[in-house]
Structure 1
Amino acid sequence: MTKFFKDEKKRPIIIGFWSSQSSQQFFLQIKVAKDFLSNSFYWKLSTNTPDVSDCLLTVINCRKTSSYLIYTLACNGKKILHSTNWYIVLEYNNIHSDRPLKIEVEDTSLLMKAKLFPDGYSRRLNLSHKKVIYPSLNTSMKFGIIQRQITKFEEKNFLTKAKLMYLTVLPFLPFINQINIWLFFEKNAVSAHENAFIVYKQMRKKFPRRKVFYVITDGAKEKVDLNDDHILILGTKKYYCILFLSRVLLSSDTRYHVLGDSQFHRSLLVQKTSKKVHIFLQHGMNGIKKVPMFHNGHGQIDYLVAASEWESELFQNQWHYSKKKIIVSGLPRWDMLENNVPKLLSQKTVKILIMPTWRDQFVNMSNNDFLQTDFVLSYQDMFSNSEFIDMLHKFKAEVIFVLHPKMKQFEQILEKLFSVQVRDIDQVNEFLSDSAILITDYSSIAWDMAYINKPVIYFQYDQENFKRKYGSYLTINELPGYVSTDIDDVVSLIYTVLSSNRRLESQDSEKFFTWHDKNNTSRLITKLVTMDKKFNVHRRSYLTRKLMMQLKQRFIRHF
């Protein structure tokens, strides 16, 4: 995006946003210097979502003052339903080029900042099918427009219940550190098979008098023992009371998954949740894919668990966390895994686990577009490969195909296309123990198999694109397994493992792991209990902390 306005005073400034429910339109008001452009130009909304076109904004008024032009722009909300995040673009003709230039308009007036900083969601435009459009400021104070579906727990009855429970527990909030409630949860609070649930169960056994609770949605409650009165059903009065009074959040995902199908606006719940101490128990070991959103400085993670001394070094050198914020223990779910490859290969049916990772370009993608992706075409080549089919018959091999939870919408399409049953990720620990080999691309599940010395093959059909977009903390040669971009090579490698019962040459992974035992959970619990007194809630919300950090950095750079 072109940076054009070197003179700060001449940059377009967003000074207003409002909407009309009757016309289903939203309006923007932008102030620009009179002499900012001399040729023709257009106001548009743009998005980074692939294959989604810009949306032209309609100029309905232009008012002149002594120094400025104030444009009033309009857009029908139904025109931006194909992407979640939009930003304003000024597009103008360039006399030195045939291609128009684009400038992102992201600055707002101080008055607009004051209005949007608490919660831009209050200025939302409600559309049909529970969709909303509203203005937002990100943590860099840049303006954007968000379009999304209202989530279940954002509906009025839940928010009203939350406010009532907040008022109920208000007198006890100054004593959060003394009450000392710990909440465990997993992705969107719908599962109970990850590190969070494993640690919760062990803590309940070892420390039954401690105030530890597990959060799960009503639709997933069959996954837990409801006779345990420390199970919290999300959305209930008990849940809201204990959430507001909690001190520590322990999860295998970000802190806001304790709210269920995450709330993205700055509601009371979000602001109070952002003040809790968050201990990141990890979804899986890191290294294969860069994840800058977890790096220190984003303010979302207070303490994090490392699977090994090698990963602790990565957190210090790449994620920039201090050593005192890292708890090195091993991953609790590794205690559930078994290395029994010889036994598995001697059975009548051999299981091959295939677990590809998710790509963010699949968000809001239609079924027809999904069928044309490299992901589908590459795995279609695998399942239709004659040598792969012959090998499955020869070794009586069964394919266990597991999709990332964010790809669940494509489950039936892939089952029909590949003639394979897509399995539930909640059983992943069982699949890892029961499978003789893993085929993945960039998923952290590879570390689980490497931990129990099972063969891992990385089928990286989009290797160059993935490296360019996401990057990795490791080179290809460092990965614990064998990497290939060619389907024939992958099939040959699978055949080698199944026929000779041996590990692949590049499988060596010992340097990545500190322990190979069943004590990861107990090690972690011991360290958590020892560190208990260090866990103090934040006085300010996440966004305030982030802004203060940025102001401090700017002050340091200035002087």
Structure 2
Amino acid sequence: MYCEFDKKKELPIKLLNIFLRKKINSQLISILGIFFIKDLVDTKKETFYIRVNNIKYTLTIICSIKLWKIYMILYKFNIPIKDLLNLNINNKLELVYEVDKLLYSRVIPYSFIKRKNNLQYSKIKIIKGLNTSIYLRQSKGNRTYITVRKQNKTDELYEQLKIYIAYIISLFMHDNKIILFEKKSERYEESASVLFEKLIDEGYKNVFYILDKNNKNLHKINRKYKRNIIDKYTFKHYLYFFTAKTMIGTEMLSHSIDLRIANKYAMKKINSKRLNFVFLQHGVMYMISLASKTRKFFHKDKNTGLKRVVVSSKLEADHFTNYAKYENKDMYICGLPKFDKNKWTKDADKIIIMPTWRPWEYNQSRLSFTETPYFKMIKRIFESIPEVYKDKIIILPHPLIAEIITDVDDDIKNYMNFKDKYDDLLKEAKVLITDYSSIAYDAFYRGSNIIFYWEEKDYCMEQYGAGTNLMLNEDNCFGDICYTPEQVSDVIEKNYLQHQEKKYVDRYRKIVEFNDNKNTERLINYLKRDKLI
């Protein structure tokens, strides 16, 4: 049974912890390690165990050796692979000491040596039948995490070898390239692609865009720009990744090679102080507060090479400086380049349903999407829309959820769209229904009405962790707020038939200041000023 422990109590377990062996096979993770304790306890009793999230695993004491005033404990434990499949993507490994009905816990260090940039990884175990990869990894704070995620192409031994060779060759080359990318280097429809084309138009020769060759819209890209597009996963991709001086992307740096890549050479580059990274944002991030513990990977101190962040207003800039340790000089208040090309048809007539993704449901979605609270909420929203508007509905699961869906109810399946670009679909959106996705800013900019569905808002904020809240509230929200399906039924017709209300436009303009289609031009001037291009 899990219970809280007093973090202020002194724990007799020393933080020094050494893994002597880490083995992963198709059945279990097996770890042999050593920790040190001030006083010897009765090791025959179950006073120690391992905790992964709130799941408890028996720790077997092999032997204890007295070393002056402390004892060295040799231990081992096993975690069945089947237990991990429903966990979160990243799972903290803790050593727990139980005495007198009190629990003391410490995160298990990965290594005796704390590494900030050259992070270590265990062997990657690929569960092919489930398209899943599992491995142990070292965090920047030297903590041990078990990662359970969809299999990456870069998990394969051949790709790991290509990356290593590219890294070695890059050591003899100068860093002078500018690399642009969007989500997982698979998309060409956001701010990075707009900026890329503008830079090519202005005569830049050392600018390159990473894109998956299977992108369905690749044939639509002008030949002028295709010459500087590099196919994802090629040797050239890896070599240019390592030789890049500046990277500009709509997502964090790992998206430039492979999301959640498990490769120490790639992570060394991503965490390099020499790298100049400009974060374009995939959408306006004035949504889930950056004060949340689960949003810390956006903080400046977690991104060594991050130099600048593109934002849409002073209000959004304050969000980064107040909660994510940025300074005013780090902010480019110029607006997102993708808004310069946002279009909306005057006869737009679609109703798009798109809640944001839920990382805590990611692995559950891969096993049974229809059993997730995420899907059940979408279904309630769908059923709340009057029958007269049903033929106008498009359901857009978030990209990080859409890619792993394996099962969908037949009554909703025909309304889901997995193939078209979001940009093309938003041109036709009269109404967007979302919870707290940044796509709301994109749709409203074009002219769509927004309905915010907050039935599970408090539950979701709890899942994100202590300190999490929405930056939007009932006083600054730029659309109707609904907490029940019945409320959606009440406001859908008004939103479908009327134009945007002035009070919502005024609220929106405080968060997104620019609407002159010159965001890209302003951004390039900033990049030139700071000699990042």
**TM-score between the two structures when normalised by the length of structure 1:** 0.80
CA positional deviation for 1:188:
1.1
> Aligned pair 1:274/2:263, yes or no?
no
Alignment-derived partner of residue 545 in structure 1 = none
Amino acid in the other structure paired with 1:28: L
CA–CA distance in 1 between the matches of 2:419 and 2:482?
25
Alignment-derived partner of residue 364 in structure 1 = 363
CA–CA distance in 2 between the matches of 1:165 and 1:410?
30
Give yes or no for contact 1:327–1:527 (8 Å, CA) kept in 2: yes
Amino acid in the other structure paired with 1:283: H
Match for 2:14 among 11, 15, 32?
Answer: 11
Q: Which structure's residues are more often helix, by fraction? A: 1
Amino acid in the other structure paired with 1:56: T
Alignment-derived partner of residue 542 in structure 1 = none
CA distance change for structure 1 residues 270 and 115 in 2, over 3 Å: closer, same or farther?
Answer: closer
Alignment-derived partner of residue 384 in structure 1 = 383
CA distance change for structure 1 residues 324 and 363 in 2, over 3 Å: closer, same or farther?
Answer: same
Alignment-derived partner of residue 39 in structure 2 = 35
CA–CA distance in 2 between the matches of 1:89 and 1:511?
47
CA distance change for structure 1 residues 306 and 411 in 2, over 3 Å: closer, same or farther?
Answer: same
Provide structure 2 residue ranges, at least 5 long, that are not aligned to the other structure. Answer: none
Give yes or no for contact 2:380–2:485 (8 Å, CA) kept in 1: yes
**TM-score between the two structures when normalised by the length of structure 2:** 0.84
- Counting matched residue pairs gives 506
CA positional deviation for 1:313:
3.0
Matches within 5 A, 1:473-552: 473-501=471-499, 503=501, 506=504, 508=506, 509-532=508-531
CA–CA distance in 1 between the matches of 2:450 and 2:92?
40
For structure 1, which segment, 296-305 or 416-425, has the greater mean C-alpha deviation from structure 2 after superposition?
416-425
Amino acid in the other structure paired with 1:214: Y
CA–CA distance in 2 between the matches of 1:458 and 1:144?
35
**Which one has a bigger Cα radius of gyration?**
1
Alignment-derived partner of residue 214 in structure 1 = 209
Deviations 1:442-489 (A, max 9, x none): 001111223234311101110222344431223332111111101111
CA distance change for structure 1 residues 144 and 3 in 2, over 3 Å: closer, same or farther?
Answer: farther
Alignment-derived partner of residue 50 in structure 2 = 45
Amino acid in the other structure paired with 1:212: V
Deviations 1:11-65 (A, max 9, x none): 36422330457896522323343636469334433233xxx73333344444555
CA–CA distance in 2 between the matches of 1:264 and 1:127?
12
CA–CA distance in 2 between the matches of 1:511 and 1:186?
26
> Aligned pair 1:112/2:106, yes or no?
no
Deviations 1:507-559 (A, max 9, x none): 542222322122222222232223225x7xxxxxxxxxxxxxxxxxxxxxxxx
CA positional deviation for 1:164:
2.6
CA positional deviation for 1:242:
2.0
> Aligned pair 1:92/2:98, yes or no?
yes
CA–CA distance in 2 between the matches of 1:62 and 1:460?
54
CA positional deviation for 1:404:
0.8
Alignment-derived partner of residue 58 in structure 2 = 56
Give yes or no for contact 2:179–2:247 (8 Å, CA) kept in 1: yes
CA–CA distance in 1 between the matches of 2:510 and 2:127?
54
Alignment-derived partner of residue 540 in structure 1 = none
CA positional deviation for 1:7:
4.4
CA distance change for structure 1 residues 16 and 497 in 2, over 3 Å: closer, same or farther?
Answer: closer
CA distance change for structure 1 residues 425 and 195 in 2, over 3 Å: closer, same or farther?
Answer: farther
CA–CA distance in 1 between the matches of 2:59 and 2:409?
42
CA distance change for structure 1 residues 464 and 7 in 2, over 3 Å: closer, same or farther?
Answer: closer
CA–CA distance in 2 between the matches of 1:8 and 1:43?
12
Alignment-derived partner of residue 253 in structure 2 = 255
RMSD: 3.2
CA–CA distance in 2 between the matches of 1:268 and 1:59?
35
Matches within 5 A, 1:41-440: 41-48=46-53, 53-66=55-68, 67-75=70-78, 78=81, 80-82=83-85, 83=87, 84-92=90-98, 94=100, 100-106=101-107, 108=109, 112-113=112-113, 118-121=118-121, 123-124=122-123, 126=125, 128-129=127-128, 134-147=135-148, 151-173=152-174, 176=175, 180-207=176-203, 209-220=204-215, 223=218, 225=221, 227=223, 228-265=226-263, 267-275=264-272, 276-291=275-290, 292-293=295-296, 294-300=298-304, 301-341=306-346, 343-344=347-348, 350-365=349-364, 370-385=369-384, 388-392=385-389, 397-408=391-402, 411=405, 413-414=407-408, 416-424=410-418, 427-440=421-434
3-state secondary structure, aligned to 2:433? strand
CA positional deviation for 1:247:
0.3
CA distance change for structure 1 residues 16 and 317 in 2, over 3 Å: closer, same or farther?
Answer: closer
CA–CA distance in 2 between the matches of 1:205 and 1:192?
17
Give yes or no for contact 2:61–2:73 (8 Å, CA) kept in 1: no
Give yes or no for contact 2:32–2:75 (8 Å, CA) kept in 1: yes
CA distance change for structure 1 residues 29 and 399 in 2, over 3 Å: closer, same or farther?
Answer: same
Provide structure 1 residue ranges, at least 5 long, that are not aligned to the other structure. Answer: 95-99, 345-349, 536-559
CA distance change for structure 1 residues 74 and 17 in 2, over 3 Å: closer, same or farther?
Answer: same
Amino acid in the other structure paired with 1:273: I
Give yes or no for contact 1:233–1:239 (8 Å, CA) kept in 2: yes
Give yes or no for contact 2:433–2:451 (8 Å, CA) kept in 1: yes
CA positional deviation for 1:263:
0.9
3-state secondary structure, aligned to 2:472? coil
Give yes or no for contact 1:454–1:503 (8 Å, CA) kept in 2: no
Amino acid in the other structure paired with 2:388: M
Aligned identity (percent) is 21
3-state secondary structure, aligned to 2:481? strand
CA positional deviation for 1:259:
0.9
CA distance change for structure 1 residues 133 and 405 in 2, over 3 Å: closer, same or farther?
Answer: closer
CA–CA distance in 1 between the matches of 2:439 and 2:127?
39
